[in-house]
Chain A
């Protein structure tokens, strides 16, 4: 009742997102201080930026008249190489990540195996594709093999982690029922675990295929094969119409893959 009395007559105020006032003010002040410091230390050459706007306009206009023809053989070769790298690395990456995912699920694997598999995942996730690609190009030489290995390596971290989470959150009852029927370990995995995580595995695999294609577009920048090298050359020579054509192809393929993954995921789930 007294609580009501204190409220009556006072206008309502929107509650803040962060409840504690001191924390709210500290965060705001710290953020403002950071913004000022960041602004002071970034030196932007505004005249250069202003000059660049003309080129920016040209680039945007290039999208209205993309040039698919002059460099069509380069674009075609690069695209095919990107797609090949994407498919091969997705297949190998998925094949390797399934046993690692089994090992990284605490409800299936014993502790030592769990720790080993989890550390493999952590390493693969912490290293970025492009850095791995640089190292692998230095080791294996230029070409799509380095790109293929990079993408396979990156796939392992992504897929194993998410698949292991799926296995850990599966329904224990079904797995137990299979075990109770006297199944061997392989049968248990095949009939008790696999059917439960299969929709997730398919969904994740297609999503990773999509990511691998996007990543394969940049691996060419460091010499690991794919469309990136062609794109880089196009930018270096200010051939915006060719660059626009390549970017449009990439966007179209990604859109198609996204649509496909939506359809497939809707079917399996």
Chain B
């Protein structure tokens, strides 16, 4: 226990001298890095616009309120498209994620040294690229529209679903698998009767959780042209129709809240 002696009296200290020095140096480096970053940001900022910001914000607020409620009649189809992008995207991604997860989990992978790293690479690379970037790419490849959005969401979700799923597979109870194997079951029967029932609740939870996230993500995919309500948002922004923008933002907010509520309810029922 680090103690310090002041006038012959021992006083408890939280850290020893060396530790507190290390702490101090760490903080110094951290503050220096932050100061450098801030200076860089500050250098590429037009401060006049920033000082003018409250006026601009006030201006946008007065333009955006009240929302143009009549416009909601034109939002039915975009919302339906958004829902489709999220749901179909989630379904496709699950179809792709299940084999990847089985290849990545170290207790089910056929080869630890060749196939598992490839599966992990698929997981990392699909996860680290945002769905908007996937959408940009797919629009360049297969043209704008809902289909590009569905595929973008599907690819983006593979990594997330496969990662959670393979962690669930690695945590299964091995004795059940052994019991099924002892009955003389084939590899596929072991999979179907020993492993799948154990991960099914996790799988359903992951599916609903990802669906909820995908609803959020698909609302903005339209900004790059991949269909859904984001298309309306971007066209309203382009013509500076702020009352429409505020209505669309409210609709997106409602969609996000509802999907979160649904997903919480369903996950509560499963677990």
Contacts and interface: CB of A to CB of B under 8 A. Distances in A.
B33 A87 contact: yes
A4 interface: no
B3 interface: no
Contact of B56 (A48, A55, A139, A247): A139
Interface string A14-43: 100100000000000000001000100111
Contacts of B38: 88
A139 B220 contact: no
Contacts of A44: 145-147
A258 B137 CA distance: 24
B140 A141 contact: no
B142 A214 contact: no
A91 B197 CA distance: 44
A241 interface: no
Contacts of B142: 48-49, 52, 56
B111 to A, nearest CB: 21
Given A17-B200, A87-B37, A42 B137 contact: no
B243 to A, nearest CB: 15
Interface in A60-108: 80-81, 84-85, 87-88, 91
A140 B128 contact: no
Interface size range on A against B: 35 or more
Given A55-B140, A243-B137, A45 B129 contact: no
Interface stretch (B18-26, B80-88, B95-103, B167-175): B80-88
B60 A251 contact: no
Contact of B136 (A38, A49, A148, A235): A235
A228 B136 CA distance: 11
Interface in A170-193: none
B165 to A, nearest CB: 16
A134 interface: yes
A42 B124 contact: no
Contacts of A91: 30, 34, 37
B49 A141 contact: yes
Interface in B116-155: 124-125, 127-130, 132-133, 136-137, 140-143, 145-147, 150
Interface string A202-230: 00000000000011011001100100100
B139 to A, nearest CB: 8
A238 B140 contact: yes
A88 B37 contact: yes
Contacts of A157: none
Contacts of A218: 130, 132-133
B84 A42 contact: yes
B44 A55 contact: no
Interface of B: 30, 33-34, 37-38, 40-42, 44-46, 49-50, 53, 56-57, 60, 80-81, 84, 87-88, 124-125, 127-130, 132-133, 136-137, 140-143, 145-147, 150, 193, 197, 200, 204, 216, 219-220, 223-224, 233, 237, 249, 252-253, 256-257
20 contacts: A41-B81, A42-B81, A42-B150, A44-B147, A49-B143, A52-B143, A81-B44, A84-B37, A128-B220, A130-B223, A134-B237, A135-B60, A140-B49, A141-B49, A145-B50, A215-B130, A217-B129, A235-B137, A250-B129, A254-B127
